[in-house]
């Protein structure tokens, strides 16, 4: 058990510019269905206007997390990560720009408190 734990700790200590193959292997362990470009292609293939705003926000979070993983764990450059996920992120942002604002937790709480004070 300790040897497995030390191996995992060793993987996380890798500097971003060395051992890209090990980091990519770690990504594949974390996400077994990982295929380069599959997430961005699936987002672009969806009917974005037909999705709920919260679904669009969830897709955007997934894309940004995948882009971050590609940058920090797979050792990709900024331009490569932009090429891989930029079109899908831009499509989601464009669709979200057409929608009304969805309040976050703090904003929703403030709206509820304001409504309670008016009663």
Predicted structure pTM score:
0.61
Per-residue pLDDT of the chain (119 residues; tens, 9 = 90+): 444 444 444 444 445 556 666 666 666 665 555 556 677 777 877 888 888 888 899 999 988 988 888 887 777 788 887 888 888 899 999 999 999 988 889 999 999 999 999 98
**What is the separation of C-alpha 11 from the centre of its chain, rounded to a whole number of angstroms?**
21
- pLDDT at res. 10: 45
| Number of H-type helices and E-type strands within the chain | 6, 0
Q: Select from 37, 47, 16, 33 the least CA-distant residue to 85.
A: 37
């Amino acid at each position: 058990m300790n040897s497995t734990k030390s191996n995992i700790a060793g993987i996380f200590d890798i500097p971003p510019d060395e051992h890209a193959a090990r980091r990519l292997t770690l990504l594949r362990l974390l996400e077994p269905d990982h295929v380069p470009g599959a997430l961005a292609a699936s987002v672009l293939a969806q009917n974005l206007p037909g999705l709920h705003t919260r679904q669009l926000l969830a897709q955007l979070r997934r894309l940004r997390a995948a882009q971050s993983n590609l940058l920090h764990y797979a050792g990709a450059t900024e331009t490569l990560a932009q090429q891989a996920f930029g079109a899908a992120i831009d499509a989601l942002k464009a669709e979200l720009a057409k929608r009304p604002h969805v309040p976050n937790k703090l904003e929703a709480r403030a709206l509820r408190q304001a409504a309670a004070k008016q009663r």
